[in-house]
Structure 1
Amino acid sequence: MFLLLSIVAFGLIYYLYIKPLWYWRSRNVPYENPLPIFGNMVKPIFRREHILSVLNRIYRKFPNAQYFGFINFHQTVLVIKDPELIKKVTVKDFDVFPRHRAIASDDIDPLLSKNLFSIQDIHKWRHFRATLSPSFTSSKLRMMFDLMQECAQNFANYFLQKGDEIIEVDLKDACRRFATDVIATAAFGITCNSLENQNNEFYIMGRDVTNFGRIKALKFFLITTSPALMKFLRIGLFGDEVTKFFTRIVSDNIRIREKQNIVRPDMINLLLEARKGKAKKERPEPKDQELDSFAAVEESEIIQKDASWQMEISDQDITAQALIFFLGGFETTSTMMSFAFAELAVKPEAQKKLHKEIDEVFEKTGGKIKYEDIQRMKYMDMVTSETLRKWPAFLDREAVKPYTISQDNGKPPLKIKKGDIIWIPVYSIHHDPKHFPNPENFDPERFSDERKHEIKPFTYLPFGMGPRNCIGSRFALLEAKIALFNILRHFEIVSIGKQTVPFKLDVTQIGPNLRGEYVFGLKKRNLNAVSN
């Protein structure tokens, strides 16, 4: 019996962790030698190198390759580099690569598995996407502008009340608190004022959910690489506390709205209307060259096809969408804002240009800025676009049917099987000198009217491409710009020697974050001198 179990165990270990080591060699795909069990993930899992740095190192090792192979523990991943191939995967052949890889099951992590990012059923995803996309049109953002601006003014006023000439601020924490306030009011109709009320429920819950310490990071890696095992062990990423909190918040919100006939221009209202069969079809809003950010992505018309407006939507479905919207703002958008502030702190000439533009808009409007005023700020858009170029992550797709990648170099075509995983190394593409000269330099001028035409299609991908791009790109960009406007109107961001320059990625975090403290200084500006 012991011998039999040993043979079975050895067979499983060989099949799961040894056999994949030669997978890419057998497919004639360039790769970096992996190690048993961990594959190419040894350094990230032991926090010796960030996953983005690992991908970037391998990316540069094969400069002329269309793609390269990667082993994520026992999972084989094809990492694609070629812009034309990226276009095929994300847009032209979307029917082959329509979803992200599943990382959660409905019965263990329902809020994680049922949100727009994670939904596996393509028809259900399309219905939800079509239902939610009107939440992020320019017309809806105009309605939300005043709510965001009020949060941003509170954000700036909190620091203006302090008497210090230079105020030490943890920018990441401050941006998270601002993002919490914006999402709480825009999506849930709740006022938090997270800087004054440091321990409000929304902020505490957001910090808990996004804090990928050692245990949660290990769970995340296991869930992404061995979902079947984690499902068998009934281990999810989120605990019951998170599920209960957001279920309670959304349920109370729905009950109050229905009881008092409250209508607000947000995603919860759209989902409630869809549940009642009252949702109205809206065509995807085309990109407005004057008012939209360069980084904003357009909604694909494919979303409207076969969209049913009488689909069954549960309270749990609504809660799942509210949760992913909250997490996107709390972590992703706040990270973008904190990176922008940090880059401006060590790039005073760029900050000076942005100060000048902000002062001109403030004087022109008498301080009563509107949606259009923010959106027409060209240098502001250049700063946010460059921040997103320098500090993105990576994208993933899963093949739902076989696919063939043809090659022009005489090599045989590469066969993709159903279930194969594709990664798009956006960080590496954005740091490739072929696409962006001197890529480590923070240079907003790349996105000036005179130079932005030099950016090749499908080499700038901060919010993804194709139908599965980020639905909230316009919301995130507007939120970040409003925060930058209100803080920089009153303050200069300065380095106080608590951050190493040049900036490095934090190897203890899964997503892009700065190594070390995010502590910078807010130095009050002499606005009398500015107006004179």
Structure 2
Amino acid sequence: MWWILVAIAALAVGYWLLIRPHRYWLEKGVKQGNPGFIFGDNWGTVLRKQSFADMLEMVYNVCPNTRYTGIYQFLMPTLIIKDPDLIKQITVKDFDHFVDHPTLIPPDSDPLWGNNLFALTGKKWREMRTTLSPAFTSSKMKYMFTLISQSGEQFVKYFLKQDQDLVTIEMKDTFTRFTNDVIANTAFGVECDSLRDRENAFYMMGKEATDLSGIWNNLKIFGYILIPKLFKLFKIKLFSKKIGDFFTNLIKSNIQSREKHGIVRPDMVHLLLEARKNGLKHEESEPVQDTGFATVAESEINKNPTNAKTEITDQDITSQALIFFFAGFDTVSTLMCFMSYELAVNPDIQKRLIEEVDETLETCKGKLTYEALLGMKYMDMVVSESLRKWPNPIAVDRVCTKPYTIEPKYPDEKPVHLETKAVIWLPTFGIHRDPQYYPDPKRFDPERFSDENRANIKPYTYLPFGSGPRNCIGSRFALLETKTLYFYILSHFEIVPVEKTQIPLVISKKQFNLTAENGFWLGLRRRSKV
């Protein structure tokens, strides 16, 4: 009889540990889908049956006409916030309850990751964000525009020198080389030409640092989700020692050289050194010129200096430069890739954009200026629609930092009490493809963002850079970098489909990041100048 008792006990323990957790939202009166055993709603991505974007869209639509939906990251309950008004309530009005991102890797396990702006929490995040905020204003972008423009000119000269009518390239590889050079130049003070010097140390280290497709990297991410205490015990780092040492030594030697020789460059290292020495002041008012529809305004919370002066160490500068690199290397190049694809398969849209490029080039007499670039309305419409249809990141997370209650709004709702450490997601990909906000959402239509139509976009349904005080600090930089490169490309080339182009594009199921299944193979066809 004892074995029967053991079996009953084992079943009870198994139910308590592996099955009951997936009833968490039901017990709170929150609708949910059908999570898979152990894997929860991640089963499709783990088995590579679904891309992360497909999974997000699935859970967004699983319970229609609800303001929120419960899902499970393996056994961890996560609340999907779908209602725009509730998104505003949580991310702006009640921001003090949702200040932080979930801590994936503890700071003491990997200080290089743990000290960057994305990973910092609470008071430390507030102090660092307030310190860095002035470095990302429109005037500072104008300050760095010269370096970005130089990289754009360098990019097109490389392909013009090939003296071919049509050059076939894989856009992801090509654009990451451009974003690598821009970040190296503007964030680290290092000049690179990764199209010519294809295996330069900076590019190879950056590629390794941002590669999340390998088995070991996937295991590290899943490990910190499933068994965080064990991974913390062994201090398993996101970045390898080789990567950490490379970027740390690069920043230290760069700082020493600048301080010794009095070198001043219009880049991020200089701005951070100025913040360390004298502090940076947020401008009283932004320039009148619009920096783009997708630009997220800096919250007043982040403009107000804290009482205590933040000490900025060399490691802090390295961490901020590295997260700037990490974000810029992959996410900006991803935006560029999807925009290239859409221009190639929508030649009428590309033709209109080329006409605006030519008009702007004539207006500024052959030399692109910061003001002329920001004045390109159709360019901004195309970039905005690219971010709408192909947002990266696919979802934005927040963690509840103090207990919070979502009050009921409709008869079938009841109060939802969120405990400290509860995780929520803003499902950007799902909202951007919701037909109630964007009719015919899979159609690429820049006219959604025309002066006449942009007022019809419901607030908090367009979230390519997040929402509230914890939005992406680098939105202006990302938009400036993208527009600059496309200006130079379309001045000389048309982007066209080639034999290897996958039409329609299929999202890869093998990577967390948003990317194409067979790569972004497209052609640069030299324009005939009449």
Alpha-carbon distance in structure 2 between the residues aligned to 1:398 and 1:272 = 31
| Deviation (angstroms), 1:337 | 1.0
| Deviation (angstroms), 1:275 | 3.1
What does residue 157 of structure 2 align with?
Answer: 157
What does residue 173 of structure 2 align with?
Answer: 173
RMSD: 2.1
What does residue 363 of structure 1 align with?
Answer: 362
The secondary structure found in structure 1 opposite 2:95 is coil
Q: Between the two proteins, what is the percent identity of the paired residues?
A: 46
Counterpart mapping for 1:381-396 below 5 A: 381-392=380-391, 393-396=394-397
CA contact (8 A) 2:183 2:328 kept: yes
The range that moved more, 77-86 or 360-369, is 360-369
Question: In 2 relative to 1, CA 314–9 (structure 1 residues): closer, same or farther, beyond 3 Å?
Answer: farther
Specify the code of the residue in structure 1 equivalent to 2:363.
K
The secondary structure found in structure 2 opposite 1:221 is helix
Question: In 2 relative to 1, CA 431–255 (structure 1 residues): closer, same or farther, beyond 3 Å?
Answer: same
CA contact (8 A) 1:286 1:299 kept: no
What does residue 459 of structure 1 align with?
Answer: 461
Alpha-carbon distance in structure 2 between the residues aligned to 1:179 and 1:510 = 20
What does residue 23 of structure 1 align with?
Answer: 24
| Deviation (angstroms), 1:453 | 0.8
Counterpart mapping for 1:43-82 below 5 A: 43-82=44-83
CA contact (8 A) 2:407 2:416 kept: yes
The range that moved more, 107-116 or 437-446, is 107-116
CA deviation map 1:307-361 (0-9, x unaligned): 2462222221111101000111100111111111111011101100001000111
What does residue 468 of structure 1 align with?
Answer: 470
CA deviation map 1:121-143 (0-9, x unaligned): x2111111111112211111112
Counterpart mapping for 1:443-522 below 5 A: 443-522=445-524
- Determine which of 425, 438, 441 is the counterpart of 1:439: 441
What does residue 94 of structure 1 align with?
Answer: 95
| Deviation (angstroms), 1:187 | 1.6
| Deviation (angstroms), 1:209 | 1.4
What does residue 249 of structure 2 align with?
Answer: 248
The secondary structure found in structure 2 opposite 1:167 is strand
Question: In 2 relative to 1, CA 4–400 (structure 1 residues): closer, same or farther, beyond 3 Å?
Answer: farther
Alpha-carbon distance in structure 2 between the residues aligned to 1:77 and 1:222 = 18
| Deviation (angstroms), 1:425 | 0.5
CA contact (8 A) 2:133 2:302 kept: no
Alpha-carbon distance in structure 2 between the residues aligned to 1:145 and 1:439 = 33
Normalization by structure 2: what TM-score?
0.95
CA deviation map 1:397-439 (0-9, x unaligned): 0001111111222232111111100001000000000000010
Question: In 2 relative to 1, CA 388–215 (structure 1 residues): closer, same or farther, beyond 3 Å?
Answer: same
Alpha-carbon distance in structure 2 between the residues aligned to 1:9 and 1:148 = 62
Alpha-carbon distance in structure 2 between the residues aligned to 1:5 and 1:261 = 74
Alpha-carbon distance in structure 2 between the residues aligned to 1:178 and 1:228 = 39
CA contact (8 A) 1:72 1:225 kept: no
| Deviation (angstroms), 1:517 | 2.0
The range that moved more, 306-315 or 28-37, is 306-315
CA deviation map 1:168-202 (0-9, x unaligned): 11111111011111111112221111101100111
| Deviation (angstroms), 1:232 | 2.2
The range that moved more, 254-263 or 90-99, is 254-263
Specify the code of the residue in structure 2 equivalent to 1:474.
R
Specify the code of the residue in structure 1 equivalent to 2:251.
V
The secondary structure found in structure 2 opposite 1:95 is helix
CA deviation map 1:47-106 (0-9, x unaligned): 110122112122223220001011101111000100000001110000000010001122
What does residue 303 of structure 1 align with?
Answer: 302
CA contact (8 A) 1:284 1:299 kept: no
Alpha-carbon distance in structure 1 between the residues aligned to 2:152 and 2:168 = 19
Alpha-carbon distance in structure 2 between the residues aligned to 1:8 and 1:489 = 72
Alpha-carbon distance in structure 1 between the residues aligned to 2:251 and 2:8 = 51
| Deviation (angstroms), 1:496 | 0.8
CA deviation map 1:375-408 (0-9, x unaligned): 0000000010000001111100000111111122
CA contact (8 A) 1:389 1:462 kept: yes
| Deviation (angstroms), 1:13 | 5.7
What does residue 129 of structure 2 align with?
Answer: 129
Specify the code of the residue in structure 2 equivalent to 1:515.
E
Specify the code of the residue in structure 2 equivalent to 1:72.
Q
What does residue 197 of structure 1 align with?
Answer: 197
The secondary structure found in structure 1 opposite 2:524 is strand
The range that moved more, 338-347 or 421-430, is 338-347
Alpha-carbon distance in structure 2 between the residues aligned to 1:155 and 1:321 = 26
Normalization by structure 1: what TM-score?
0.94
Specify the code of the residue in structure 1 equivalent to 2:291.
D
Alpha-carbon distance in structure 1 between the residues aligned to 2:268 and 2:157 = 29
Question: In 2 relative to 1, CA 484–8 (structure 1 residues): closer, same or farther, beyond 3 Å?
Answer: farther
Q: Number of residue pairs matched?
A: 524
Specify the code of the residue in structure 2 equivalent to 1:427.
F
Tell whether 2:105 aligns with 1:104. Answer: yes
Alpha-carbon distance in structure 1 between the residues aligned to 2:49 and 2:494 = 34
| Deviation (angstroms), 1:515 | 1.6
Specify the code of the residue in structure 1 equivalent to 2:464.
P
What does residue 377 of structure 2 align with?
Answer: 378
| Deviation (angstroms), 1:469 | 0.4
CA contact (8 A) 2:33 2:63 kept: no
Question: In 2 relative to 1, CA 231–9 (structure 1 residues): closer, same or farther, beyond 3 Å?
Answer: farther
Question: In 2 relative to 1, CA 103–10 (structure 1 residues): closer, same or farther, beyond 3 Å?
Answer: farther
The secondary structure found in structure 1 opposite 2:86 is helix
CA contact (8 A) 1:135 1:266 kept: no
The secondary structure found in structure 2 opposite 1:148 is helix
| Deviation (angstroms), 1:221 | 2.4
| Deviation (angstroms), 1:286 | 4.1
